[in-house]
Structure 1
């Protein structure tokens, strides 16, 4: 495959996943901000969301206050924010057009129809929750079309690679910005609701109760989102998928491998054989910060080996 095609497919996967992740974050921040207000508790959900999406520095270059209105506008439609929902869909569509023949009709239709509707969508006020749910559904439609209709060749693998890497980064960032909530503490109403919000951000609240059959506990939440391979958005599952895809790409290229393959194997082994007790005792924040850095380095190595070589 040409490197420019691999680049477009890799970033097609990343941008669609990123749009859904931002929509998930906004939905949870909206709910938590309302709950904090009802309980008279101080909450900073909007600033936390900016940190989790990596947008805080860029946001405060344009805004003085992390209010709901400012953050929603910045994370949905601001053209200067490449992580915004509309910007992500625009970038995904641009990449999809450059590899149009590698995509199926259903994939292109899902993405193109979403873009056309998105340009005229209303998301202010009471329409925001419905809009965010619509964004998630459109990304699920695109992913479903890819799973059901795309040939399992290199184009498919590069889309999957981008999706898995972006998902791993998002889970680590989400946990890191909320790491203080997963330390042993009194289980106040607001804290318990925050734990629910963390799980809801990755659609894992029901999965938690299915796996543990118990009330929410910080250590178990951290274990589920970091080490449990059954959860599709856990760090172990995401990096396992990255390793699997890289191995399949290498097999299709006569075993050609690079530093990205070694890094992916090392990261997955660290997660697969990790213990939550050791992670928490050494410091959850330090662990997650290291995972975010290593995931970014892995992404750079993948691009250096397959795209920029």
Structure 2
């Protein structure tokens, strides 16, 4: 396969996955912002979302103050933001158009229709009137795109480069999301010697209770935040089925990092990257293949207790660095030079 064709396929999949991941992050932040909490911690959540994508500096130059409306406009519609959902869907469509001959008709039509429908939604001017509906639509279109690839594409080199791009992007996003959310909640716990501002929860009001012990309020607050994090990776029902107990931070981390049967976990993503890379391996990809195999082995034999003991943030930071090196290696070995 020509390196330019492989490059377009790889980035088509990455951009579509990035659009879905951005929608997931925005949705979970929007849902958690509706929970009882102080203005300070709500703002921290939106700042954390920008940090996940390393866009805090660019946002500050263009918008200044962090507000829910400005962050959502920047992350969904702003054409000056290369990682906005609008730009990701456009880039996915343009990469697909460049290699139409390597795609089935269904794959191309799905990509093209997604971009055209999004443009119509933008022109209607009601895209962010109901943010959750918009985010669900983006996730659905990404699911559809992935399903059409799996259901209609011949499992040749084109298919494998599509899968590699999608899985690398997914692993990168899962690590960033987990790191930011754990860090934000640690700050909240350190900075709050009393329950979060915002009064009685809706659950309390509906039950008619006038007060709730401080410990119970904190447990309820934590439950909704961890639930939102799990839902952002479609992991809430998976968690319940796997652990059958209350939501505990260390179990959330274990599910999202080490469980090979969790589709969006780091272990699952990197295992599939290794499988697909083995199929397309060439004479110069030996070192990249070795790095992926080493990373998979580290995830396979790690224990969450050891990771937490040494520090989750350093572990995830190192993981992101290793994923970035893998992306650069794949670009060097297979794709157009300079597109790392």
- Please give the range of the TM-score, normalised by the shorter of the 2 chains: over 0.9
The within-5 A match list for 1:55-66 is 55-66=55-66
Q: Residue 308 of structure 1: CA displacement? A: 3.8
Q: How does 1:273-288 map to 2 (within 5 A)?
A: 273-288=301-316
Instruction: Tell me, yes or no, if the aligned pair for 1:104 and 1:150 is still in contact at 8 Å.
Output: yes
Question: What's the counterpart of residue 323 of structure 2?
Answer: 295
- From 228, 234, 237, the equivalent of 2:268 is 237
**Could you say which residue in structure 2 is the equivalent of 1:76?**
76
Moved over 4 A (4+): 122-125
C-alpha deviation, 1:55, in angstroms:
1.8
| C-alpha distance in structure 2 between counterparts of 1:269 and 1:173, whole Å | 21
For 1:77-101, what per-residue CA distance to the aligned partner results, in whole angstroms no more than 9, with x for missing partners? 1111111001001110110011101
Equivalenced residue count is 304
Cα displacement (A) at 1:54: 2.4
CA positional deviation for 1:113: 0.7
Equivalence map 1:244-263=2 (5 Å): 244-250=275-281, 253=282, 257-263=285-291
CA RMSD of aligned residues (A): 1.8
Alignment partner of 1:153 out of 144, 152, 156: 156
Partner residue, 2:41: 42
1:1-309 alignment to 2 at 5 Å? 1-37=1-37, 42-43=41-42, 44-121=44-121, 122-180=125-183, 181=185, 187-250=218-281, 253=282, 257-308=285-336
Gaps of 5+ in 1: none
Q: Over residues 126-178 of structure 1, what are the superposed CA-to-partner deviations in whole Å (9 max), with x where a residue is unaligned?
A: 32211111111111111110000000000000000000000000000001101
Provide the rounded CA distance (Å) in 1 between the counterparts of 2:222 and 2:126.
29
For the residues of structure 2 that align with 1:86 and 1:271, how far apart are their CA atoms? 34
Q: CA deviation at 1:57?
A: 1.9
1:48-71 deviation digits (Å, cap 9, x = unpaired): 111122222221121211101110
Q: Is the 8 A contact 1:236 1:268 kept in 2?
A: yes
Question: Contact 1:36 / 1:42 at 8 angstroms: preserved in 2?
Answer: no
| Cα distance in 2 for residues equivalent to 1:168 and 1:21 | 10
Residue pair 2:128, 2:134 contacting (<8 A) in 1 also = no
TM-score by length of 2: 0.85
Kept in 2: contact 1:182–1:219 (CA 8 A)? no
Determine the C-alpha separation between the residues in 2 that align with 1:274 and 1:61.
41
* Structure 2 residues without counterparts, runs of 5 or longer: 190-214
**TM-score when scaled to structure 1?**
0.94
Question: In the superposition, relative to structure 1, how do residues 123 and 219 fare at CA in structure 2: closer, same or farther (>3 Å)?
Answer: farther
Q: Cα distance, 1:14 vs. partner?
A: 0.3
Q: How many angstroms apart in 2 are the aligned matches of 1:36 and 1:73?
A: 24
Query: What is the rounded CA distance, in whole Å, between the counterparts of 1:182 and 1:297 in structure 2?
Result: 29
Contact 1:41 1:190 in 2 (8 A): no
